[in-house]
């Protein structure tokens, strides 16, 4: 337990900001009190007290991602001269398999644990404390570094949320999800991603099977109309907006102005590295740029911050046993401290970059931050360089460091043939141990018992795998040696901005992101 003192941006209804507040973090991973709103709880007399030296916010929640692909650079298809119109198109592009699917598959099969630690590190340096988009395959330990929304157990044995990444296109395919929703489970589903009006049928199918309920979190919704948003509001469902990825691939994004006017709860997600931002802190900036480009702003600064805090917190609190996304007594102690450069507390977060993140607390445990803060409450944390910054990080295992994570991944990049051979041996052992379950998992039809092997499987289109499975069966799951691109840095910088500028689909809108680096 410890006490974090400073200006507390609660993100509670009413927008309380406590200029001289304190957050009491309990050993149970929950917030025990927030003063001066609550009485000082007993038992904290000798607890360490940290002066935040910045603004204390709820941890950021990235409610749409695909973690397995987040070591890869931004991707464009050279042969494509006009934006795509549907999510069904770009997975068949000539360079997609070679540049996205196959490298991710090899990394996930040969170094799944290191890959997951790498991408979670990339998220946490931007203040993310919960992220959606777990790869299929091995399930990470609960609260390993940050919360994995898809598999988070919160100290229980419950499976709170079901996820459909590749769109289920029939009532039969959606039946298991509908049954889970009827049992009170959450359901996160991609729906209507793209600009083609025909994609509305995907959402209409969700409605037909009865899952447009408070438990539904629909991702993208690019083709949805006012009528669809009215139905979503009636069902009290949520919509996750990923504006960067939408503009990058489709040159357009969801009609969030109409969705907001209809009263739909809106959240935000950074999608994945091939067509997304580094972390959700940068996705907030995309939303800010979009907002400023409208004839009249759709969101206030406070409402923009709600997209990554209280709004997704409300969506998850409907199925999780503890609230999150707000700083209040009884909520999950997921907190970030951000340096103050702006008088307005909400504009301060929108404008912040990785350099401004001073501390990240997940489940009451300090996981990342300034060494001066971490040494008090996380003495076992190890050093990490984030661009030109010196920070500390706690992976929960003293043998794991940022250098060891990079070293394991770099070994695969330098010798993909050896990595493929190791993956083949692992997959053969898994298939021998559970042939039926292994085949179903590889085909995307069920979970996989990895028997101690931390193997990650793709949750996005893998055209080369699909064709090989039809021809050779599950033995084709082993990824072949393939060129792995250099790993992306943790911070957002000039090389990434240059890549953004080179894509014409967004008509220059996303180039405004460079202006947030001063």
* CA dist., res. 319 & res. 222, Å (int): 25
Burial bucket for residue 343 (CB in 10 Å: 0-12, 13-18, 19+): exposed
- 53 and 78 in a single domain? The answer is no
Tell me if 294 is assigned to some domain. Answer: yes
* CA dist., res. 437 & res. 447, Å (int): 7
- 153 and 28 in a single domain? The answer is no
| Pair 473, 80: CB distance under 8 Å | no
Final residue in a domain of this structure, among 398, 416, 449: 398
- 164 and 191 in a single domain? The answer is yes
Q: How many domains is the chain partitioned into structurally?
A: 2
- 305 and 364 in a single domain? The answer is no
Token pair of 214 as six digits: 């408070």
Using alpha carbons, list the distances in angstroms from residue 445 to 150, 168, 505: 16, 12, 34
* CA dist., res. 516 & res. 512, Å (int): 8
Between CA 248 and CA 272, with CA 108 as vertex, the angle to 5 degrees is: 15
Summarize the chain as % helix, strand, coil (round to 5).
40, 20, 40
Tell me if 312 is assigned to some domain. Answer: yes
Final residue in a domain of this structure, among 372, 398, 424: 398
Tell me if 268 is assigned to some domain. Answer: yes
- 152 and 216 in a single domain? The answer is yes
* CA dist., res. 115 & res. 135, Å (int): 11
- 77 and 15 in a single domain? The answer is no
DSSP 488: P
- 69 and 176 in a single domain? The answer is yes
Tell me if 196 is assigned to some domain. Answer: yes
* Residues near 54 by beta carbon (within 8 Å), at least 6 away in sequence: 6, 7, 337, 338, 339, 340, 356, 358
- 27 and 147 in a single domain? The answer is no
* CA dist., res. 271 & res. 353, Å (int): 18
Q: How many helices (H) and strands (E) does the chain have?
A: 18, 19
Q: What is the CATH number of the domain that holds 84?
A: 3.20.20.140
Burial bucket for residue 220 (CB in 10 Å: 0-12, 13-18, 19+): buried
The residues that bridge with 391 in the sheet, in sequence order, are 384
- 300 and 199 in a single domain? The answer is yes
* CA dist., res. 92 & res. 74, Å (int): 17
Q: What is the CATH number of the domain that holds 20?
A: 2.30.40.10
- Which residue range(s) make up the domain with 313? 61-97+127-319
- 227 and 334 in a single domain? The answer is no
Tell me if 418 is assigned to some domain. Answer: no
Sheet holding 161-164, edge to edge: 161-164, 186-191, 216-220, 238-241, 265-268
- 38 and 85 in a single domain? The answer is no
Tell me if 121 is assigned to some domain. Answer: no
- 277 and 328 in a single domain? The answer is no
Tens of pLDDT, residue by residue, the chain (518 residues): 999 999 999 999 888 999 999 999 999 999 999 999 999 999 999 999 999 999 999 999 999 999 999 999 999 999 999 999 999 999 999 999 999 999 999 999 999 999 999 999 999 999 999 999 988 877 777 768 999 999 999 988 898 999 998 888 899 999 999 999 999 999 999 999 999 999 999 999 999 999 999 999 999 999 999 999 999 999 999 999 999 999 999 999 999 999 999 999 999 999 999 999 999 999 999 999 999 999 999 999 999 999 999 999 999 999 999 999 999 999 999 999 999 999 999 999 999 999 999 999 999 999 999 999 999 999 999 999 998 889 999 999 989 999 999 999 999 999 999 999 999 888 888 777 776 666 666 666 555 555 567 888 888 988 887 766 555 555 567 888 999 999 999 999 899 999 999 999 999 999 999 999 96
Final residue in a domain of this structure, among 301, 319, 337: 319
Tell me if 489 is assigned to some domain. Answer: no
Tell me if 518 is assigned to some domain. Answer: no
């Amino acid at each position: 337990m410890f006490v974090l003192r400073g200006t507390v941006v609660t993100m509670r209804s009413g927008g309380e900001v406590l200029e001289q507040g304190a957050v009491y973090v309990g050993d149970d991973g929950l917030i025990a009190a927030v003063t001066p709103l609550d009485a000082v709880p007993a038992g904290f007399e000798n607890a360490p007290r940290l002066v935040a030296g910045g603004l204390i916010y709820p941890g950021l929640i990235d409610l749409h991602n695909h973690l397995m692909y987040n070591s890869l650079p931004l991707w464009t298809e050279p042969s494509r001269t006009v934006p795509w119109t549907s999510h069904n198109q770009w997975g068949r592009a000539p360079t997609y398999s070679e540049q996205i699917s196959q490298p991710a598959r090899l990394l996930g099969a040969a170094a799944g644990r290191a890959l997951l630690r790498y991408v979670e590190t990339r998220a946490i340096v931007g203040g993310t404390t919960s992220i959606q988009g777990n790869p299929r395959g091995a399930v990470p330990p609960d609260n390993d570094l940050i919360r994995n929304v898809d598999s988070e157990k919160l100290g229980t044995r419950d499976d709170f949320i079901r996820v459909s990444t590749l769109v289920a296109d029939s009532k039969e395919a959606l039946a298991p999800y509908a049954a889970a929703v009827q049992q009170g489970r959450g359901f996160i589903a991609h729906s209507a991603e793209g600009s083609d009006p025909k994609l509305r049928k995907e959402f209409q199918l969700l409605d037909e099977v009865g899952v447009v309920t408070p438990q539904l979190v629909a991702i993208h919704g690019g083709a949805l109309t006012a009528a669809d948003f009215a139905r979503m509001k009636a069902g009290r469902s949520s919509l996750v907006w990923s504006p960067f990825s939408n503009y990058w691939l489709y040159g357009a994004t969801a009609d969030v102005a109409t969705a907001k006017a209809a009263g739909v709860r809106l959240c935000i997600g950074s999608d994945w590295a091939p067509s997304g931002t580094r972390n959700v802190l940068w996705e907030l900036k995309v939303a800010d740029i979009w907002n400023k480009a409208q004839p009249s702003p759709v969101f206030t600064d406070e409402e923009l911050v709600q997209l990554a805090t209280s709004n997704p917190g409300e969506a998850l609190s409907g199925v999780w046993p503890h609230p999150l996304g707000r700083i209040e007594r009884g909520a999950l102690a997921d907190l970030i401290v951000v340096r103050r450069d702006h008088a307005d507390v909400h504009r301060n977060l929108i404008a912040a970059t990785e350099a401004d993140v001073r501390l990240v607390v997940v489940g009451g445990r300090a996981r990342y931050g300034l060494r001066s803060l971490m040494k008090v409450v996380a003495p076992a944390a190890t050093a990490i360089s984030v661009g030109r910054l010196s920070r500390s990080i706690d992976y929960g295992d003293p043998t794991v460091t940022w250098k060891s994570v990079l070293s394991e991944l770099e070994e695969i990049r330098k010798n993909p043939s050896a990595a493929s051979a190791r993956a083949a041996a692992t997959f053969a052992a898994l298939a021998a141990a559970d042939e039926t379950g292994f085949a179903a998992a590889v085909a995307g039809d069920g979970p996989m018992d990895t028997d101690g092997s931390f193997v990650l499987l793709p949750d996005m289109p893998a055209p080369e795998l699909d064709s090989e499975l039809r021809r050779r069966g599950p033995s084709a799951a082993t990824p072949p040696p393939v060129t792995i691109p250099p790993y992306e840095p943790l911070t957002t910088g000039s090389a990434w901005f240059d890549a953004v500028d080179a894509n014409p689909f967004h008509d220059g809108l996303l180039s405004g992101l460079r202006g947030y680096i001063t």
